[in-house]
Structure 1
Amino acid sequence: MPGSVSNLLTVDQNGKGDHRTIQDAINAVPANSSAATVIRIRPGVYREKIVVNKPRITLTGASARATVITWNEQWLSADSPTVSVVASDFVAKRLTFQNTFGDSKAAVAVSVAGDRAAFYGCSFVSFQDTLLDDAGRHYYRGCYVEGGTDFIFGNGQALFDKCHLHSTSRVGGAFTAQQGLSESQETGYSFVGCKLTGVGVATAILGRPWGPYSRVVFALSYMSSAVSPRGWDDWGESDRQRTAFYGQYQCYGEGSRTDRRVAWSRNLSQAEAAPFITKAWIGGQEWLQ
Structure 2
Amino acid sequence: MVMLWWSEGNCFTFDTIVATDGSGDYKTIAEALDAAPKMSSQQYFIHVKGGIYNENVTISDDKTNISLVGDGMGVTIIAANKSGKVLPTPFTATLEVYGSGFVGMSMTIRNTAGAEGAQAAALTSAPYHGVASYYQCSFEGYQDTIFALDYAFFRECNISGTIDFITGSGRLIVQNSAVNARSPMKSQGIRILAPGADNITSNPGLVLQNCTILPVSDFNKEEISSVLGWPWKDQGKGVIMSSYIGDFIDPKGFAPHPEVTDIYMAEYDNRGPGSDTKDRVNWSKVIDEEEASKFTVRNFLQGDTWIPEIIPYYLDL
TM-score of the pair, normalised by structure 1: 0.92
Choose which of 73, 84, 89 in structure 2 pairs with 1:64. Answer: 73
Choose which of 197, 200, 203 in structure 1 pairs with 2:214. Answer: 197
Match of 1:42 in 2: 49
Match of 1:233 in 2: 255
In 2, are the aligned partners of 1:7 and 1:36 still within 8 Å (CA)? Answer: no
Post-superposition offset of 1:43: 0.4
In 2, are the aligned partners of 1:82 and 1:108 still within 8 Å (CA)? Answer: yes
Match of 2:134 in 1: 119
Residue 166 of structure 1 aligns with an amino acid whose one-letter code is: N
Q: What is the distance in 2 between the residues matched to 1:234 and 1:24? A: 45
Q: What is the distance in 2 between the residues matched to 1:51 and 1:278? A: 26
Match of 2:194 in 1: 177
Ranges in structure 1 where 5+ consecutive residues have no aligned partner: none
- Structure 1 residues 33 and 271: CA distance shift in structure 2, 3 A: closer
SS at structure 2 position matched to 1:97: strand
Cα deviation 1:221-245 (Å, max 9, x = unaligned): 00001111111112223x52xx211
Choose which of 260, 264, 270 in structure 2 pairs with 1:251. Answer: 270
Q: What is the distance in 2 between the residues matched to 1:177 and 1:24? A: 34
**Cα RMSD after superposing both structures:** 1.8
Higher mean Cα deviation, 70-79 or 53-62? 70-79
SS at structure 2 position matched to 1:14: coil
Q: What is the distance in 1 between the residues matched to 2:249 and 2:283? A: 17
Q: What is the distance in 1 between the residues matched to 2:245 and 2:253? A: 11
Q: What is the distance in 1 between the residues matched to 2:292 and 2:239? A: 8
In 2, are the aligned partners of 1:187 and 1:215 still within 8 Å (CA)? Answer: yes
SS at structure 2 position matched to 1:229: coil
Match of 2:103 in 1: 91
Higher mean Cα deviation, 38-47 or 225-234? 225-234
Is 1:217 aligned to residue 239 of structure 2? yes
Cα deviation 1:191-248 (Å, max 9, x = unaligned): 11001012233731111111111201111100001111111112223x52xx211110
Match of 2:162 in 1: 148
Cα deviation 1:41-80 (Å, max 9, x = unaligned): 1100100011011000000011011010000121313443
Q: What is the distance in 2 between the residues matched to 1:32 and 1:191? A: 31
Match of 2:230 in 1: 208
Paired-residue identity, %: 29
SS at structure 1 position matched to 2:164: coil
Match of 2:4 in 1: none
Ranges in structure 2 where 5+ consecutive residues have no aligned partner: 1-11, 309-317
Q: What is the distance in 1 between the residues matched to 2:247 and 2:208? A: 18
Residue 215 of structure 1 aligns with an amino acid whose one-letter code is: K
